[in-house]
Amino acid sequence: METKISSSFDNFTGDLAGKYYPLNNLSESDRKQLIDDHFLFKEGDRFLEACGLNRDWPNGRGIFHNNDKTFLVWVNEEDELRIISMQ
């Protein structure tokens, strides 16, 4: 699922153009910026662990946001896709 979804982000243009950050290949500077932006998922949440959502962490998970940081997609966090549009 992550591969199919993340490749579709390359087709976004205009206001939706941005960058995808796979969690299993995240640089320290990108990780820090995503935390500062309050976009990064929590790891180790006991409720997510209890229902098996932390399996294989961080493989298959990532975050996309547009250049203006007003459109965000979480891939395989709690939901398969969580799409957020902000003003």
Please say whether the beta carbons of 64 and 75 come within 8 A: yes
Judge whether 16 and 71 are in contact, CB under 8 Å.
yes
Whether the Cβ atoms of residue 60 and residue 72 lie closer than 8 Å to each other: no
Handedness of CA 4, 72, 78, 29 (dihedral sign): positive
Cis peptide before 22 (omega within 30 of 0): no
**What pTM was computed for the model?**
0.83
What is the spatial distance between Cα 27 and Cα 53, in angstroms, rounded to a whole number?
A: 23
Q: Which domains does the chain have, with CATH numbers?
A: 2-85 (3.30.590.10)
Reported as a single tens digit per residue, the pLDDT across 10-61 is: 999 999 999 999 999 999 999 999 989 989 866 667 877 788 777 777 888 9
The residue with greater pLDDT, 49 or 82, is: 82
